């Protein structure tokens, strides 16, 4: 898992056209803490075959807003967005972010 903090890092990921998961989370919210743990477990169990990045909304508000704007996906926290071929292909938020749910994404 790699932390991203600016728009340039996000744009580089999108332009690579490689699939990746992105987690937006809050560092002060218990629901976000649970989602972060599920996301981290998913990333560790999937080994190196899945790319995962995350951002903390409090530290990267401009990036978080940019992602909402360019994807047309309303910002929520916590929120996971799966990108495939440079486009959002799946997203989920709050208590629906579980390891099993993430495992089901292709």
Q: pTM to 2 decimals?
A: 0.95
pLDDT at 43 over 70: yes
CA neighbor of 94 nearest in space, from 78, 82, 81 = 78
Mean pLDDT score of the chain: 95
Task: List, edge to edge, every strand of the sheet that includes 2-3.
Answer: 2-3, 52-56, 20-25, 79-84, 87-93
pLDDT at 48 over 70: no
pLDDT at 52 over 90: yes
Average of pLDDT values for 54-67?
A: 97
pLDDT at 29 over 90: yes
Backbone angles phi, psi at 73, to 5 degrees: -110, 115
CA neighbor of 81 nearest in space, from 28, 58, 4, 8 = 4
Average of pLDDT values for 45-61?
A: 90
pLDDT range class, residue 46, cuts 50, 70, 90: confident
CATH numeric code, 2-101: 3.40.30.10
Residues listed for the chain: 106
């Amino acid at each position: 898992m790699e932390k991203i903090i600016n728009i340039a890092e996000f744009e580089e990921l999108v332009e690579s056209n490689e699939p990746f998961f992105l987690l937006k989370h809050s560092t002060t919210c218990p629901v976000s803490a649970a989602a972060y743990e599920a996301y981290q477990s998913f990333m560790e169990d999937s080994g190196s075959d899945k790319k995962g990045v995350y951002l903390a909304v409090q530290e990267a508000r401009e990036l978080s807003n940019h992602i909402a704007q360019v994807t047309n996906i309303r910002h929520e926290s916590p929120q996971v967005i799966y990108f495939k071929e440079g486009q959002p292909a799946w997203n989920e938020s709050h208590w629906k972010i579980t390891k099993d749910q993430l495992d089901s994404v292709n």
